[in-house]
A and B are shown apart, each in its own frame.
Chain A
Amino acid sequence: MAKSNPPFMSGVPELLLLRLLVNREMYGYELVRSIKEVTGEAISLGEGVIYPVLHSLERNGSLKARRKPVGGRTRVYYSLTKQGHGRLQDLQDDWRRIQGGIETALESPGHA
């Protein structure tokens, strides 16, 4: 199985998936490859574990799924909804706030 990510990565798959789907609709395999590519392989989601996240995002209205026949297979393509754009914005804000806090803590000489 692909190497797993540490527990503090909770919420990151969701953020990455929403971010990648801003530009165009994609299917599961394509999304896993894109995550590896855009993060320089720093983040690697378990190949199969992406689907529960995608289905949850679809269930809460952030994504829309549609079947599309491609090369003899029927692929399920996911695209971002209006609600998904809002969710992405919230997650990005949260992430930047946390990132800023951690950077401040790491750079603070008194607590190194």
Chain B
Amino acid sequence: MHEPDVHDLATRLVQSGIAARHAHRAANEIRDHYDDLVDAAVKDGAPRREARRQAARELGKIDDLVSAMSARRELKAWAYRYPRAALVVYPLACLAALPAAPVYAGIANAPLLARWGASLLAAALFTAGLLLVLQLSILFG
């Protein structure tokens, strides 16, 4: 094994179904562990190049780590743990919730909608007033 590539390891873990939170943290922990092993070997008198090789050997193969993580169902993303729910129930729930989206958006943005409504009402009243003045000036002018 070469020096662990954190990004590559995290990507492989995510691809194997591990939840992103665990994948990224495990990859960073492995990287730190590798650095600790290198530091320990250097402290013991090994040249840095040999220390890196030794650390990589001790750390083991990335494939083994990916397998060990993947074997634990509890570390998988929920879509991998409950594939039926992810493929059937979740899309249906989203479809069912779709009509409620505008209502939810309205409630969430109530102050903004109130300001908009008040502005439109003011504009409409102003225009109606102008038209009324024009109409009256035609009738009595």
The chain A residues found within 8 Å of chain B, CB to CB, are: 1-2, 27-29, 32, 46-49, 51-52, 55-56, 59-60, 65, 73-76
Cα A27 to Cα B30 with chains together (Å): 11
Q: A28-B29, A47-B59 are in contact. Are A52 and B64 (CB under 8 A)?
A: no
Instruction: Report the minimum CB–CB distance from B46 to chain A (whole Å).
Output: 16
Interface segment out of the listed B71-79, B109-117, B128-136: B71-79
Of all A-B residue pairs in the complex, the 3 with the closest CB atoms, nearest first, are: A1-B60, A29-B36, A48-B65
Tell me what chain A mostly uses at the interface: helix, strand, loop, or mixed. Answer: mixed
Closest Cβ of chain B to A2, distance in Å, is 6
Whether B72 contacts A55 by the Cβ 8 Å rule is: yes
Beta-carbon contact of B26 and A55 below 8 Å: yes
Which of A51, A60, A65, A73 counts the most chain B CB atoms within 10 A? A51
Residues of B within 8 A of A29 (CB): 32-33, 36-37
Residues of B within 8 A of A (CB): 22, 25-26, 28-30, 32-33, 35-37, 57-62, 64-65, 68-69, 71-72, 74-75
Whole-angstrom CA separation of A47 from B28 in the bound complex: 14
Find out whether the CB atom of B75 lies under 8 angstroms from the CB atom of A59: yes
Residue on B nearest A73 in the bound complex, by CB: B32
Cβ-closest chain A residue relative to B55 = A47
Subset of 23 A-B contacts with CB under 8 Å: A1-B59, A1-B64, A2-B58, A27-B29, A27-B32, A46-B60, A46-B64, A46-B68, A47-B59, A48-B30, A48-B60, A51-B26, A51-B29, A51-B30, A52-B26, A52-B65, A52-B69, A52-B72, A56-B75, A65-B25, A74-B28, A75-B32, A76-B28
Q: A32 contacts which chain B residues (CB < 8 A)?
A: 33
A55 with B33: in contact, given A47-B60, A48-B65 (CB under 8 Å)? no
Pairwise interchain contact B60-A52, C-beta atoms closer than 8 A: no
A32 and B29 alpha carbons, distance in the complex (Å): 13
CA A2 – CA B60 in complex, angstroms? 7
A60 to B29, CA, bound (A): 19
Given A48-B30, A48-B64, A56-B75, 9 more A-B residue pairs with CB atoms under 8 Å apart are A28-B32, A29-B37, A46-B64, A47-B33, A47-B37, A52-B26, A52-B65, A55-B26, A73-B32
